[in-house]
């Protein structure tokens, strides 16, 4: 019985840590719905964080591909005076990229809530 209680306590602590960490990461970026994301897309720096193959398979029109693996090196090419809209497959990479940007002094950073998986807008593909 004591073993189960210890296991439950450890699990509760781990879940609490994960939740707190998730909320702290979300402070780095404002998640936008698809409609909010579409509103200003032409006035922002639109960045697709997925690998090149996935980007070429289909990406949001006007997006520039900076894979997360190269992001820390290539993010300096982004302007600090213009909003940055990030997206990836699910939204997880966008949080990581936003955290990196915030550390470098970028302030106007947004992400597509739920990533391109839920995107219903137009997509550009090299296959078409």
Q: What pLDDT is recorded for position 23?
A: 57
* pLDDT above 70: residue 109: yes
Question: Could you give the dihedral angle defined by the CA atoms of residues 73, 77, 81 and 84, in that order, rounded to the nearest 10 degrees?
Answer: -70
| Residue among 41, 36, 45 nearest 66 (CA) | 45
pLDDT, tens digit (0-9, with 9 covering 90-100), for 24-61: 555 567 899 999 999 988 899 999 999 999 999 999 99
- For residue 112, give Cα distances in angstroms to 2, 9, 13, 37, 84: 45, 35, 30, 6, 11
d(CA 51, CA 7): 39
pLDDT, tens digit (0-9, with 9 covering 90-100), for 47-100: 999 999 999 999 999 999 999 999 999 999 999 999 999 999 998 899 999 989
Q: What does the radius of gyration of the chain's CA atoms come to, in whole angstroms?
A: 17
User: Which domains occur in the chain, in start order?
Assistant: 29-125 (3.40.250.10)
């Amino acid at each position: 019985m004591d073993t189960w209680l210890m296991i439950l306590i450890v699990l509760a602590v781990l879940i609490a840590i994960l939740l707190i960490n998730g909320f702290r990461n979300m402070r780095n970026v404002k998640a936008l719905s698809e409609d909010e994301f579409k509103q200003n897309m032409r006035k922002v720096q639109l960045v697709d964080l997925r690998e090149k193959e996935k980007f070429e398979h289909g990406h949001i029109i006007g997006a520039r591909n900076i894979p997360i693996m190269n992001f820390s090196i290539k993010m300096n090419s982004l302007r600090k005076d213009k909003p940055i809209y990030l997206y990836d497959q699910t939204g997880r990479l966008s949080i990581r990229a936003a955290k990196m940007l915030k550390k470098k002094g970028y302030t106007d950073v947004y992400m597509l809530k739920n990533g391109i998986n839920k995107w219903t807008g137009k997509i550009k593909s090299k296959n078409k």
